[in-house]
Amino acid sequence: MIEQACEVAAVAPRRSTGADMDLAAKLAVADLAAIADFLQAYRPGVFRYLSQSGCSRDDAEDLASQALLNAARDIRRFRGDGPLQAWVFRVAHRVLLRHRRRERLISLFGSRPLAEHKENWATEDYVVVSQAVASLPPDQRAAFLLLEVEGLSVNEAAGVIGAPAGTVKSRAFYARQRLRAVLASAYPENSHE
């Protein structure tokens, strides 16, 4: 049932600045077709980024909706200095940080119940890779996900995370090194360069 209710995630297409501005302008007037286009293009990536950043699947779904809603509501602030994708991820990253602060606050006042896991669809590959990614330090994980999985440039990822470009680059490098070390023994057929 869950398998039927899921779609396969895709990477947001790289649009030209003009196309981004066009989409932003349509979003600002609540054009339904533009909103559908916006959700279709950015929801998979944002959901993937949040779910791989230590959020449960349910939390990631809620936070992705919140992030995209925030982005669409504040779309007038998008000035077209960079791609819309990077701007959306910046909003999502902020939502993630807020969520983590809230979780930390909740942990001050008591524990929370165990999350219900419903990931029956997860393949063995996905479980192994997710665990390896989850074991990365949060900074390295964010850099790796934005650069490698979501395809942002170093400068764009730096803008999202709020760290210098060189730092993001080195974090992604160490993340790749650690993932190779962890996953090489599990999948030797993939370890050759």
Report 174-193 residues binding another protein (CB under 8 A): 176, 179-187, 190-193
Residue position matching structure tokens 């990253």 = 93
Quick one: which of 191, 51, 55 has its CA closest to 126? 51
Binding flag, residue 14, another protein (CB under 8 A): no
| Residue of the chain from 13, 32, 79, 81 that contacts another protein (CB under 8 A) | 32
Site for another protein in 99-138 (CB under 8 A): 100-102, 104-105, 107-115, 117, 119-135
- The footprint of another protein on residues 64-83 (CB under 8 A) is 65, 68-69, 72-75
- Does 19 contact another protein by CB under 8 A? no
CA 135 to chain CA centroid, nearest Å = 16
Distance of closest approach, residue 21 Cβ to another protein, in angstroms: 17
CA atoms of 160 and 156, how far apart (whole Å) = 6
Integer Cα distance of 130 and 110 in angstroms:
28
**In contact, 71 and 87? CB cutoff 8 Å:** yes
Q: How far apart are CA 140 and CA 87, in angstroms?
A: 20
Where does this chain touch another protein (CB under 8 A) — which range of 12-20, 45-53, 78-86? 45-53
Measure the CA–CA gap between 179 and 104, rounded to whole angstroms. Answer: 27
Residue closer to another protein by CB (options 10, 19) is 10
Instruction: Confirm or reject binding of residue 39 to another protein (CB under 8 A).
Output: yes
Q: Which stretch binds another protein (CB under 8 A): 14-22, 38-46, 80-88?
A: 38-46
